[in-house]
Structures are given as structure tokens and as C-alpha cells.
Amino acid sequence: MHSMTGFGRAEHATDTLVARVEVSSINRKQGEVLIQMPRAYAELDAQLRKFALTKISRGRLTIGINIEQANADQGSLVLDTEKVTSLKSELDRLSALLGTPIPLTASEILRIPEVIISENQAASAEDALLAIQPALEAALANLVGMRAKEGDNLKQDTLERLAFLEQQAIEIQAHAPSVLEKYRSNLHRKLKDTGLEVDLSDERVLKEIGLFAERCDIAEELTRLHSHLTTFREYLDSDQAIGRSLDFLCQELNREFNTIGSKANDATLAQHVVQSKTELEKIREQIQNVE
């Protein structure tokens, strides 16, 4: 059982490059990957994204990649004159149209994206990948480890709440038979209060009691409730991605408790149902973070 939130960081150096990678993940229904890295290596995006998705199945994963030269000497910095010349040409054209001079200052030139480059900056994508891949793999391993640790905490919390639901189900099952007996007694008392001496073995009384018993019978709901709770525990012990399955089971458990509450016609059972649904909602909030 893994959480969908986590963080990992790693770096790897080759003879020419140093790659530093940070990865973080948050809740998402599907698996999403966002990669932030130098534009010069954008062609690696699809390959790195595919690799990342082999490590997670759900959650939004953000990968930050920084590439530096391995040598301290980065080479002299140079200006991308083609970009500056192109911008100057467009400004001159706009000035002619408007009839107003538009100067190009040094500060505006420096704002042009990637206008200043290092002479040694242009490493090939293949060389960059040799540095990025090991760093990314190590960072993802750290993230998965953190997600597993957080998942263990979520599992323990969920197991405690699940035990509460199981106890509520046991108490509901134990109390359910008394609902019919209570109805039988109340019916007898009401008949006596009205002055009608009707034997409880009278066919009309038995029919009324039988109809009530059919309306308030929760045996099927209890059977499904116990089945869902057992399945819930089995999923919690699984190594697979179980978030969607647990969310579905929460919906089914809520459905059974709702049906029991509507059929019970009893204050004690209603109280058990309210307490169960309150705890179930807490479980559901927790598993929204489960992969």
C-alpha cells in the first residue's frame, strides 16, 4: 500500500556532465508526469516520461532536471547574436510603422530567454541521458520509498478505523433480532390500550408482524457488509495499486449502512449506522491519497 505523495532527490556525474534530479508527487486519479529540464534536451521528454510511469501508476509526478558541466571551467559566456539581431529587426519594423523610435536596451536583451549561453554548453542529448537516467532512477527510488513509508502509516490508521466498523457490524447483527421482538411487544401493548383483546397468535397479528419482519430484515445487508470488510482487509495487504478498489469498497460499504439505517426502524441501530458512516467517511478521506 503506497501513498501518492512523496519526494526524492539524486544526482549523477559522468566525465563531462552532472545531472541533478528532484521528483515530487501529489494526488491525482491518473498517472501524470510533468518534466522541467533545459530546452536543449526536450527530445528526451517522452523517454523519461515513459520510464517514470513504470514506477508509479497514480499521482501527478513533477520531475525537475538540472544539467551542469562536470568541469569547474564552464567556458566563456557568449551572447546569442541571432536572437538579438532578430529582435532588433522586429523593433525597427515596429518603429517604422508607429513613427516612434523603440530603443533596445541591455536589460531588455538580457530578458530574452536563453540569450546567454556557455561555449561548452551544447552537450548532446545522448550524453545528457547518460547523466540523467541514473539520477532519475535513484530519485524515483527515493520517492517510491517515501510513498511506501507513508502508505504504511495510512494502512495502520485505516486498519484501526476498519476494526471499529467491524465491531459496529457485529453489534448491529446482535441487536437486529430484538427489533422484531420490540415491535411485537409494542403492537400487543397498543392493541390492549385500545381495549381490543386480540391473541398474538391471531392470523391478522401474525400477518402484520410478518410484514414488518420483511420490511426490516437486514440479513442480506449484513452479509454483504461483512464480505466488503473482509475484502477491504485483503486489499490492504496487497502490493498492487489499490486506491481505486478501496474507493469503490467505501462506496459499497456506505450503501449497505444506508440501507440498514433506512430499514432498521430502531434508534439503537440508527445510532450504530451514524457512527459507522462517520468513521467510514474518515477512511474514505484517507484512501484518496492511496495509489
Could you tell me the domains of the chain? Answer: 6-74+124-148 (3.30.230.70), 77-116 (no CATH), 150-287 (1.20.140)
Name the pTM for this structure. Answer: 0.69
Please tell me which residue, 26 or 29, carries the higher pLDDT value: 26
Helices and strands of the chain, counted as H and E runs: 8, 6
**pLDDT tens, position by position, 57-104:** 899 999 999 988 877 555 566 777 888 888 888 888 888 888 888 888
With vertex at residue 162, the alpha carbon angle to CA 157 and CA 165, rounded to the nearest 5 degrees, is 140
**pLDDT tens, position by position, 47-70:** 999 999 999 989 999 999 998 887
Sequence-distant (6+) residues with CB within 8 A of 157 are 286
